[in-house]
Structure 1
Amino acid sequence: MKKILLLFCLPMLLSSCAEKPLKSFTAIQVNEIHNDSISVRAIVLDSNQLWFAGNDGKYGAIDLVTQKMFRGRIGKDSLHPEFRSIAKTKEAIFVLSVANPALLYKISNDKKVVKLVYQEENEKVFYDSMQFLDTTFGVAMGDPVLDCLNIIITNDGGNSWQKIPCEKLPKVEEGEAAFAASNTNLMLRNNKIIIVSGGKKSRCFVSEDRGNTWQVYETPIVQGKAMTGIFTADFYDENIGFIAGGDYEKQEENVNNKAITKDGGKTWKLVGQNNGFGYASCVQFVPNSKGKALVCVGGTGLHYSSDSGKNWQKMLNDKDLYTIRFQNDSLAYAAGRNRVVELRFEY
């Protein structure tokens, strides 16, 4: 009798121990919070402020409580640089321009002091992404100037920056570079630096010791042409990561353009084949989703997945959002052509 009772209870026990299914987004509310003649591919959330940086030297901050707006513009000589990278510490905001000359500015939290902290002149220079790990350590990466990715680091909170010499970095392949689509080519997780490339070769570069040594891993993302490969990546933690991209010249194609890793970027598995978005500009994990929920913006609209990228649901047709960041698991902010928007997701 005891054996029968135990067997009868076993399915109930297994059922009670089963992981609860992830709640899914059912709708989205869009609220425009900034409109201007500007292309924004770089945003960062800082407490109750959203900082943005874009073309024509323009940058700014939006108070997310009062909606009060601050606008700034940076010029050097007759140049108003295009900013596609932004990052923050507790003390300051940093914006980095693309193209020659590369200009990296430190902006004080009170917005009163703007200081040039790094400059690089080279006809090949083109920076794609920048992140800070904490109050002292930061990294920026860009396209190859020589035969390696262009990587600079700071150990003093962004006051000074040093280039990692090519002899300490992996060699790039012919036609391998990166895309400054949404400031998401570079991720810092604890002491790990993760960088993704694109173009004729699309790979994942990983350093587990803050840039002293590197490993390079192949990815299955479509590659082989100048405008193919990984355009965006995000890591939920040190192990679970997602890459997305495609062919910029064939934006509707949604095959071989998304992949997931569960071992920190060493191996990647294609998901969502012939499903969901085509060309991807920015992908982000939804907070508190255990690495299962993702949102992507790009050339075919805003798409959402609740099953680690296997299946996708289109939630917005808007093709002019380039970058997105989450404040919490139901509130995000996105930016793109001429505007910044608030996105409230409903479960």
Structure 2
Amino acid sequence: MGRFGRTIVTAALAVAVVAGTAGWAAGDSQRPVTGPPPGAAAWRADTVSGRPLPDPADADPHEVARFFAGLDGAVRRELVRAHPLVVGNLDGAPLPLRYEANRLAALATGEARYASLAAPGRRILAFDPRGRGQVAEVFGDLGGAAHVAVVVPGSDNDALSHDAPRRPDTGPAGMARALWTATGGAAGDTAVVAWTGYTTPVGVGLDAAGGRLAQAGAVRLARFTAGLDAVGAPDPVLLCHSYGSVVCGLAARHTDARDIVALGSPGMRADTAAALGTGARVWAARGPSDWIADVPNVEVAGIGHGTDPTSPAFGARRVPASDVVGHTGYFAPGTRSLAAFAAIAKGDVR
């Protein structure tokens, strides 16, 4: 068999295994949500004292931060009331304004499925109802935190499922809350963000086997971390689960992350940790019963995500995960993995 024939067979094998591995489900093709949120046209048409507003499509988050720093409180509040979806998703805007804007935006949808996002005390840092919806929620005081961690989830996560009943330490919000608690919760100095800021695959079919959605997500993740930097947050730790680790792998060189942790990863679209092109420390974890181990670590014709990050050849630091159960048990209370994640998030590991 020639080289081309072997390539086709390998690609077909990868697709077949991805589609048939126990625990994986056939997925529907998703159109990634990109660009600024609804309301951007009205925002661009508005002005403040005759000055144009920062374009939500391409304004640098630091530029956005400087713009808001020059406004008084009354003007800021008026922009929130007039353009909640834009302000709520505008990286670089002051955190309290984004929380209030997203509360108003969630209420304005008029949909009961989003009402819980507007509950008192919640810190919703991003909310975009387009498609299946995107959402980011903060646990802790992001504005005053000495350390910040961002949980980047994998398939089947969106704004619709953000508040769906799950085991408490699973799903983006559950993982973030468990990590925040493990770092000391309200008594600690670490904030954790559950970031479902990209269109995730549904199930694990060709979308999850390919990089199209991850590439779109990487752009959004890089901009999100730039927004954290613009408001004075410390360099974040990225904890990237499953397909989320593909997003983090593609975004790595474009973020200021201090540490990047791949857990339950099918690969990061790089042969080695060094090839990610980041100054961050790179970590990897995989539990003994995680079915992700059955997914071929190949990347052929756009299918598959490459080297297993837990393999010695990849060169990542290993996170202990011998007591992790299944694909979603990494943040379960009492596990060695959660304790390690908390230590990394707090900067306690050298």
Same-fold status (TM-score > 0.5): no
* TM-score, length-scaled by structure 1: 0.29
Question: As a proportion of its length, which structure holds more strand?
Answer: 1
Question: As a proportion of its length, which structure holds more helix?
Answer: 2
* TM-score, length-scaled by structure 2: 0.29
Q: Relative CO higher for 1 or 2, CA cutoff 8 Å, sep ≥ 6?
A: 2
